[in-house]
Amino acid sequence: MNLANRITIARVLMTPLVVIIVLLPGTWGSAHLDGHVVTGRDLLATLLFLIATASDGLDGYIARKRNLITNFGKFLDPLADKLLICAVLIALVAEAEVPAWMTIVIVSREFAVTGLRLVAADDGVVIAAGSLGKWKTRVQVIAVTAVLLRNFPFFYLHLPIASWLLYAAVVLTVWSGIDYFARNWRIIDPYR
């Protein structure tokens, strides 16, 4: 088990921790900001979420730099990313912070693209992440962070930035999903 894979496994193990913190009752000390409340729980969940998402870049960098790319890493790394985002979004739905339909769209796309990748892998084809997929992930991370922080500091300006970011994440999620299927249709074409 190399260092890059250990970092990926740590990200998988951090996912339930972030979810538990999001779902825990209580505030752990509140910072009242013009009628809004950002709790200690919110700050801790955000910090752990950002550490977990940052580990994605770190494990990839280490794997490439030290030539530690393995089939296990190729399998687990994208799965760890999807697991983190989807699990935290589901927790935020349970906390009534994110509309359920948005999470359903995002999770459905992740399942569909993962299924496409599995079919491709069975044919010996590796579907690399495209630029749209990478932007989708970045916007999802930023949107989830904004929601975890309860739209801080943008509520001072009365701007629903967290909501706008969620809509942008949904649009990019659908767009990148369509792009993946359009570019790889030959893999699942029923007439081939």
Using one digit for the tens of pLDDT, what is the confidence trace for 12-61? 999 999 999 999 886 665 555 545 667 788 889 999 999 999 988 888 88
Every domain of the chain and the residues it spans = 3-188
- Helices of type H across the chain: 3-23, 40-65, 71-94, 100-122, 131-148, 161-183, 185-188
Query: Rounded to an integer, what distance in angstroms lies between the CA atom of residue 38 and that of residue 21?
Result: 14
Amino acid at 6: R
Q: Is the pLDDT of residue 181 over 70?
A: yes
For residue 52, give both structure tokens.
């977990």
Please state whether 161 falls in left (phi above 0), alpha (psi between -120 and 50) or beta.
Answer: alpha
- Could you give the angle at the alpha carbon of 38 between the alpha carbons of 55 and 41, nearest 5°? 55
Structural contact between residues 21 and 45, judged by C-beta atoms closer than 8 angstroms:
yes
Examine residue 153 and say whether the peptide bond preceding it is cis (omega within 30 degrees of 0).
yes
The whole model's pTM is what?
A: 0.87
Whether CATH 3.30.450.20 fits 3-188: no
Q: Is the pLDDT of residue 130 over 70?
A: yes
pLDDT category, 145, cuts 50, 70, 90?
very high
* Highest mean pLDDT out of 96-110, 155-169, 177-191: 96-110
Give the DSSP letter of residue 154.
G
Looking at every residue in the chain, the average pLDDT score rounds to: 86
Query: Rounded to an integer, what distance in angstroms lies between the CA atom of residue 8 and that of residue 83?
Result: 12
Amino acid at 83: L
Residue 111: per-residue pLDDT: 92
CA-wise closest residue to 73 among 56, 49, 95, 91: 56
Q: Is the pLDDT of residue 5 over 70?
A: yes
- Three-class SS state of 9: helix
CA-wise closest residue to 141 among 98, 88, 104, 102: 88
For 137, what's the count of Cα atoms within 13 Å in the CB-facing half-sphere?
Answer: 18
**pLDDT of 78-102, one tens digit each?**
888 899 999 999 999 999 999 999 9
Residue 30: enclosing H or E segment and its boundaries?
A: strand 30-33
Query: Rounded to an integer, what distance in angstroms lies between the CA atom of residue 166 and that of residue 98?
Result: 8
